[in-house]
Amino acid sequence: MANGVLSIPLPNLLPNMSAERRTKNGGPELANTLPPEEVLFGRSEAMKDLRKRATKIAATNIPLLLCGPKGSGKEVLACWIHNHSAAAGGQFIKVNCAAIPGTLLESELFGFEKGAFTGAHATKPGRVELAHNGTLFLDGIADLDMASQSKLLQFLQDGCFSRIGDQQERSVDTRLMCATDKNLEDEIAQGKFRADLYYRINVVCLRLPALRDRREDIPMMAEYFLARCQQQFQAQAEPLTMETLHYMQCLDWPGNIRELSNGIARHVVIGPEASILEDSARPAIPPAARVAAKNGIVPLKSLCKEAIRASEKNIILEALRANRWNRRKAAQELKISYRLLIYKIRDAGLVTKQKNSIATEDHVLDAGNGRDVERDAGLKCSDVAGMHTQSFSRLQVANNEFAGKFEPGGALSAEVLEQKAAAAENARAKRLLEAD
């Protein structure tokens, strides 16, 4: 690590980029799809457990159901399981159930004979036949209509099918994997999915977490996507600084891994002035960054600084609340010096010099929402971050001794507050010593 840049050996991240293609006839190019295992599974506890289950399941031939939000990597995990299974020598055939109309799905799955219907000028094998001795991956299975579900269920029951326009029954040996981002039990309750099909495909279920639930894996993923996009677009991009990686870890990523990949691609193609997030998903821009915006584009570095500043503000506020607004104890808990804490308190805007505005130790005025936020020593960081406070009227006095002892002429300056807080702490320590 040098100059705030996280260095990860790029050759180790791209072991398969120049490998030969392994699949045909519409199957994904596994060599170009699968990232290294340390990137695919990362270091989060949720993915460690998922990897253990996936490793056990890969050696079997049982049907598998992959659940998780859109863009969470279900197809990539299915490819990894295929590569580590006994069917690795066969093809990995993907069927996007949502993209194929129900009237055409049967011909896509099972194929057709020449002259079976108008436009059938030649015999065409279906995806099921192509997946013989391999893997059939049905993506978005919840989007199948009821008629297609019935035909798929019949095939799964006996493993036999017939091409459209042909009476001959055929059988294949293929492993079935299905994926969905919907709750199939809810779909069954609403009458949109067959319960018998659900129990047929749900022998083992693997649930992939959202990217916001595995934030510790984001830096490694970002570096991998950066290396891959640089090779794909034949462009050299600026490295991702620690500041940028920290900013990305603070985001919610509603589009998950796919959104992260797209953001890195923009960074490589457009340059450092590109925003990692699309406008629809970008958090509210602080005033300082909003002034610097030109043509609707906010520099990524400005957003990073403001995001880190906002995070520090929330953490400091939580520490102050937990320690009953005792700044010295808060500094000890945060493992920083007392003077640095005072500087960061002022820099974060927790102390202002508005007239006739004195915040008591019992509550802080939330200027952004116009409400009082009750002091809670046990308040969680997520609750504090959810306040979206932009400014505060004044930092509370550190000790109860000074509540109500302010001069009536107006608000006290930050220096006076600091002096009074220090004096109160010294007096309290003296009383404790005398009591002992």
Write the pLDDT tens digit of every residue in 89-142: 999 999 999 998 888 888 999 999 998 888 888 999 999 999 999 999 999 999
pLDDT value of position 4: 38
pLDDT value of position 278: 54
- Confirm if 325 and 396 have CB atoms less than 8 A apart: yes
The Cα–Cα gap between 298 and 264 comes to 16
Structure tokens at 29: 């190019």
Structure tokens at 147: 């008629």
Structure tokens at 214: 């595995």
The Cα–Cα gap between 59 and 82 comes to 9
pLDDT value of position 365: 30
- Residue spans of the chain under pLDDT 70: 1-33, 272-303, 351-436
pLDDT value of position 152: 92
The Cα–Cα gap between 414 and 394 comes to 9
pLDDT value of position 192: 95
| Three-state secondary-structure class, residue 277 | coil
Write the pLDDT tens digit of every residue in 417-428: 566 666 666 666
Beta-bridge partner residues of 161: 170
Best CA proximity match to 386, nearest among 272, 310, 335:
310
Structure tokens at 332: 């000890």
pLDDT value of position 432: 52
Q: pTM of the entire structure?
A: 0.61
pLDDT value of position 276: 64
Helices (H), 7-101: 10-13, 30-33, 37-40, 45-58, 74-83
207 backbone dihedrals φ, ψ, rounded to 5°: -110, 120
- Confirm if 427 and 419 have CB atoms less than 8 A apart: no
| Three-state secondary-structure class, residue 423 | helix
